Amino acid sequence: MKALNDLGIIIGISLMYAAPLMYTALGGVISENAGVVNIGLEGMMTIGAFTGATVAYFTGNPWLGFLTAGLAGGALAILHAIACVTFTADHVVSGIAMNFIGPGLALYLCKIFFDGAAMTLPLDLDHKIPRPLNGLFPTDSFLNSIFNQYATVYIAFLLVILVWFMLYKTKLGLRLRSVGEHPRAADTLGVNVYKIKYFAVILSGIFAGLGGAALSIAVVSNYRVSLISGQGFIALAAMIFGNWKPHGAMWGCLLFGVAQGLVVYLGGTSLKVSSQLLAMIPYIITIIVLMVFVGEATGPAANGIPYEKDRD
């Protein structure tokens, strides 16, 4: 029984860890399949995390906060799209700019809305994203550890299916991927390359914004400057790990989550391993899996290459 409960705790922690990453990684999948590298996910997550916590605090409605977080991420992504698509700027440089603008803007606005404080005020439990299955299972039971999650966790899995469907089963998805593989060919066939790229980048910002909010109003209940510290990049790694595919990215995020769950579990046992070594495990696992199993990850052919229609 003890072993089962422990397993439940590990799985529960994995899901909590993975969910915000999954949103963001899906955003990366969408953008990069349309040929725009988005390393600005981190900045878009930050602005989403801040907006979600702030709107939820002032309106008392977490869902409104969650949605506006997506919009805020999308708004920042418009800048990235303008730079990368319209002005054919280097995607990485623009992405780095996003990672400065996002946290900077979040801190600046935070100080305006919260009397100069570098953090938003906490939401109480009733005003956070709900836990739909709360109270269904006995506390501390195996099933409760796994399934008593915030709604954002379930939505993340739903979105994986939706994004997969959009990319591989719809006309839009086909066009989006063709723009990422060979924009000129797509263009000659009458696909509006710029429009598709704009759509993909903005959608990726919306997903990253949702990912940030999944942290600030579900995992915890407020935004502070250090809340998003590296998650955007881990999501990016998970996306590459998953070979630029939505389900692959999901597995990448889950693997990272499980690794973290194991670390927390092992750290709580009487096993005497230094906590510094334990803390490295998730990253070491990620590197090993990347080397051994993924090795030949190849993204969309025209990923990261600016497309200019009128070049001969």
Partner 1 sequence: MKKRLLAFLLIAVLAFGIVGCGNKGETPEEPEDSTGTEEESPEEVAETDIKVAMVTDEGGVHDQSFNQSAWEGLQQAEKDLGVKVSYVESQQDADFAPNFETLLDAGNDLIWGIGFKLSDALLDAATNNPDQLYGIIDFSYGDETPDNVVGVLFKAEQPSFLVGYIAGKMTETNKVGFVGGIAGDVIWGFDYGFQAGVQYAAKELGKEIEILNQYAESFSDVSKGKAIATQMYQQGADIIFHASGDTGNGVIEAAKEQGKWAIGVDRDQNYLAPDNVLTSAMKRVDVGVYNVVKELVEGNFPGGQTVVYGLEEGAVGIAPTSDKHVPAEILEEVKEIEKKIIDGEIVVPYNEETFEEFMKTL
Name the residues that contact partner 1, by CB under 8 A.
Answer: 5, 9, 12-13, 16-17, 20, 79, 82-83, 86-87, 89, 97, 100-101, 104, 107-108, 111, 115-119, 121-122, 124-125, 140, 145, 215, 219-222, 224-227, 229, 260-261, 264-265, 267-268, 274-276, 278-279
Nearer to partner 1, 30 or 228 (CB): 228
Report residue 58 as tokens: 């002032």
* Distance, CA of 278 to CA of 264 (rounded, Å): 8
Q: How remote is the C-alpha of 233 from its chain's centroid?
A: 9
Query: Residue 175: CA atoms inside 13 Å, Cβ hemisphere, count?
Result: 17
- On whether the CB atoms of residues 47 and 73 are closer than 8 A, the answer is yes
In angstroms, give the least distance from the CB of 224 to partner 1.
Answer: 6
Contact partners, residue 240, CB within 8 Å, separation at least 6: 252, 290, 294, 297, 299
* CB of 30 or CB of 213, closer to partner 1: 213
| Helix extents (H) in 138-274 | 142-147, 151-169, 171-181, 183-188, 193-214, 231-241, 246-268
DSSP letter (8 states) at residue 290 = I
At closest approach, how far in Å is the CB of 114 from partner 1?
Answer: 8
- In the complex, the smallest distance separating the C-beta of residue 152 from partner 1, rounded to whole angstroms, is 13
SS3 209: helix
Q: Is 140 left (phi over 0), alpha (psi -120 to 50) or beta?
A: left
CB of 119 to partner 1, least distance (A): 7
Which pair of tokens denotes residue 279?
A: 């803390």
The token duo for 123 is 């939401």
Nearer CB in complex with partner 1: 89/294: 89
DSSP-derived secondary structure letter, 119: B
Nearer to partner 1, 114 or 251 (CB): 114
Report the nearest approach of partner 1 to the CB of residue 13 (Å): 4
Report the nearest approach of partner 1 to the CB of residue 146 (Å): 12
For partner 1, give the closer residue by CB, 82 or 294. 82
305, with CB counted inside 10 A (0-12, 13-18, 19+), is: middle
Rg of the chain over CA atoms, in angstroms? 20
Question: What's the min distance (Å) between Cβ of 79 and partner 1?
Answer: 8
Residue 108 or 168 with smaller CB distance to partner 1:
108
Q: Which is nearer to partner 1, 122 or 173 (CB)?
A: 122
